[in-house]
Every structure is written in C-alpha cells, then in structure tokens.
Chain A
C-alpha cells in the first residue's frame, strides 16, 4: 500500500513539474481577438437582430402556403362527409319508422327518395364503367 502511495506521489510530482507548453501564444491571442471582432462586427449584430424576424416570416409563409393548399380539399371532404352522414341518418330514420309500424306518407316518400338517389348514383357509375369498356373494346 505504501509502495503505491510512493509511486503515486512520485508520478504526480513529476506531472506537476511538467507544465504543458503553449507553442504559439501570440497566434492563440490573435485567434481569440479575431473571433471577438467577428462577434462584435456590425454585420453579425444586424444578423442577430434580423434572424428572429426572418424566421417568423418564413414560418408565416410556410403556414400560409400549407393553409392555401389544403383549405379547399379539406372543406370539400368535410361537406361530403356531412352530407353522407345526413343521408345515412335520414335512411335510418325512415327504416326505423317503417319497422315501428309508423308508416306515414312523408317517411315513405323520403326513404324512396334516398334509395332512388343512391340507385341513381350506382347507375351513373355503372354507366361510366360500361362506357369505359365500350371505348376499350
């Protein structure tokens, strides 16, 4: 144990005595002063002042671009979804009233209109498909 202590003290003593040498102190001083000047320069100050405004403007422009490009489709899909839900709920209402035996003229007409509309859509798409096949062959 004492031997280790001696070895340690000897080595630390040697290391203390050996101060790391800075080979070119003037060059390092110049480097430090130059980096300070660079940081203090007017251009850097202007950049530092303008940077947040530029970032804010960039963010605003990106947001505007996204909003303008996504506004119409989002609104349209929302409307379509709402219309589909309305139609579905109308059909369900009609079926419910038929099931409950509350058959009235108004409900019958409404359910007929719904089914007609749906079959019209189906017919249209079938017609379109047929047209496509006819053009192909």
Chain B
C-alpha cells in the first residue's frame, strides 16, 4: 500500500477529516508509544501518553508550524506530557532493579528474549533517579537516537544544556553499572 504524504494528511486533518487523522495515528502511534514507554516504564501509562498526545495534536493542529518536522512536533507534545507525569510520580526503588540490570548485562540477545515488562524494569532501574529533564534528554539522544538539533527543537533547550544534562545522565547510569 502506498504511504500517503504527511503534509496532505495534515491538510486534511486541519479540515477536521477524521479518516486522515486515523491514518496519521496509525502511522505514528508506534513511535510515540516506544518513546513514552521508555520515559514512563509502564505499558498503561505509555498508552495513556499516546492517547493524550494525539488528542492534543487534533486540538492544536492549527498551531502546527509546517516548517517543523511533524515527528519533532509530536515528540515535543509527548515529551511535555511524559515530563509532567514523571514530576507527579513518586519515586520507588525496589530490589527487582538490581536483578534487572544483572539480567540485561548477562543476556546476549536482549532484543528477542525480553518482554515489555522486563524492558520497563531495566530502563526504570537505570534511569529512576534521574531528573525528568535528564531522563528526557537521555531517552531522546541515547535510546531514540535523535540528533542534537532535533532535541533542541523538541525540548527548547540550548545545545549546551542538552550536553550537560546528557553528561550527568550518562555519568549516573555508569555509576549504577559500576556496582555490577
């Protein structure tokens, strides 16, 4: 099936075309879910994040700047939601964390063997004590593999701030890894 052009879909969405919006959701929900899951480390919370992100997209579609990549705008909305969610969430650290990191380091084919819940435990163990900002930068740069310029547009932070937050996040994770 031929992939429709994003700009055409967005034009249709502006005209309140729900079919076009459904297509847009189908095309991007996986990407938003992956990001939200890595940020929130919980399947249900990640699904809520996807839902809320697309509702916001529909609501504010008129404010979308076509000069910006659509995925960048999508990431910006999702990251705002995830950061807010993290700020209100109580931190918890349990003994599973230690086992999770051990498991992750010892498993050779993590890509095929690990379930979503195990993956959530591993990421949670590594990033639980990071601030929402540090976690966001770490997720966008190291897990989602986005360029600094794109992260700048998503977060609204300067390149220097991104680098310092990423450095602190990496240092913390390395310290965590030192224990194993």
Contacts and interface: CB of A to CB of B under 8 A. Distances in A.
B78 interface: no
Contacts of B114: 18
Contact of A18 (B47, B51, B59, B110): B110
B161 interface: no
B98 interface: no
A99 B28 CA distance: 95
B174 A32 contact: no
Contacts of B62: none
A35 B55 contact: yes
Interface residues of B, number: 41
B75 interface: no
A71 interface: no
Interface in B105-125: 105, 107, 110-111, 114, 116, 119-120, 122-123
B54 A19 contact: no
Contacts of B55: 32, 35-36, 39
A14 interface: yes
Interface of A: 4-5, 7-8, 10-12, 14-23, 25, 28-29, 31-33, 35-37, 39-40
Interface of B: 16, 18, 21-22, 25-26, 29-30, 33-34, 37-38, 43, 46-47, 50-51, 54-55, 58-59, 104-105, 107, 110-111, 114, 116, 119-120, 122-123, 126, 142-143, 145, 170, 173-174, 177-178
19 contacts: A4-B174, A5-B174, A7-B174, A8-B173, A11-B105, A14-B104, A15-B122, A16-B142, A16-B145, A18-B110, A25-B29, A28-B47, A31-B47, A31-B51, A32-B51, A35-B51, A36-B18, A36-B21, A36-B55
Given A15-B110, A28-B50, 19 more contacts: A7-B174, A10-B105, A12-B142, A15-B122, A18-B111, A18-B114, A18-B119, A21-B116, A22-B29, A23-B43, A25-B26, A25-B29, A28-B47, A31-B47, A32-B51, A32-B55, A36-B18, A36-B21, A36-B54
